[in-house]
């Protein structure tokens, strides 16, 4: 099966499946690795292989990951890959019912918490990265005054820029250009607030 470009989560059951803290970490780990086994992922998340396998099967049941055919040499262990190149979750798909809206809020908070943990780990380990990586990394905050349509436009433009870099990186990696290539996390939030 060819990798789908994007997957929009529109049902609450899939959202809840992703909304488990360990499953969200496993999904992120599979996505970053491109392909991985339960044993490899168990080491990454420091959990038992049997528990990791259970949660991987749950992610697969909801179409978030799938088996990666042709991986491994002995066929004894299943390899997993993301079922799509990206996931999107839109507020509009979950706002119409209190239970769905609550599930969406819960998953959004979990994303935020795990993203904050990931960034905190980088901050704690920053000294271990070379000067080139420390100089390239960024942490910025912007406070523009925009209308809702302008914010929507900004979101689309930022998404297009990030997709361009992701696609170029994937193409270079597929061409064998792996020297100096690392997994990068870019977390962007754009939301209204009143000081």
Q: What is the pTM of this model?
A: 0.87
Residue 77 pLDDT grade (very low, low, confident, very high; cuts 50, 70, 90): confident
Q: Is the pLDDT of residue 71 over 90?
A: no
Taking residues 21-28, report their average pLDDT: 96
Q: Is the pLDDT of residue 2 over 60?
A: no
Listed in sequence order, the residues at least 6 apart from 70 whose beta carbon sits closer than 8 Å to its beta carbon are none
Q: Give the per-residue pLDDT at 72.
A: 66
pLDDT per residue as tens digits for the range 129-170: 999 999 999 999 999 999 999 999 999 999 999 999 999 999
In this predicted model, which residue has the larger pLDDT, 25 or 73? 25
Q: Is the pLDDT of residue 191 over 80?
A: yes
| Average pLDDT for the chain | 93
Q: Which two tokens stand for residue 112?
A: 């935020």
Q: Which two tokens stand for residue 139?
A: 């942490």
Q: Give the per-residue pLDDT at 177.
A: 96
């Amino acid at each position: 099966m060819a990798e789908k470009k994007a997957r929009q989560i529109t049902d609450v059951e899939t959202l809840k499946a992703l909304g488990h803290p360990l499953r969200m970490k496993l999904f992120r780990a599979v996505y970053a690795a491109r392909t991985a086994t339960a044993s490899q992922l168990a080491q990454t998340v420091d959990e038992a292989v049997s528990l990791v396998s259970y949660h991987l099967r749950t992610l697969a049941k909801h179409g978030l990951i799938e088996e990666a055919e042709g991986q491994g040499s002995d066929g004894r262990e299943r390899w997993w890959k993301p079922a799509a190149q990206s996931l999107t979750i839109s507020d509009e798909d979950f706002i119409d019912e209190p239970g769905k809206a609550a599930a969406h809020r819960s998953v959004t908070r979990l994303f935020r918490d795990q993203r904050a943990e990931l960034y905190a780990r980088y901050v704690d380990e920053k000294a271990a990265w070379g000067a080139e990586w420390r100089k390239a990394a960024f942490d910025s905050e912007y406070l523009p005054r925009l209308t809702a349509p302008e914010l929507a436009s900004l979101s689309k433009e930022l998404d297009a820029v990030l997709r361009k870099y992701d696609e170029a990186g994937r193409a270079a990696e597929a061409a064998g250009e792996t020297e100096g290539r690392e997994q990068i996390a870019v977390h962007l939030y754009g939301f209204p607030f009143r000081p």
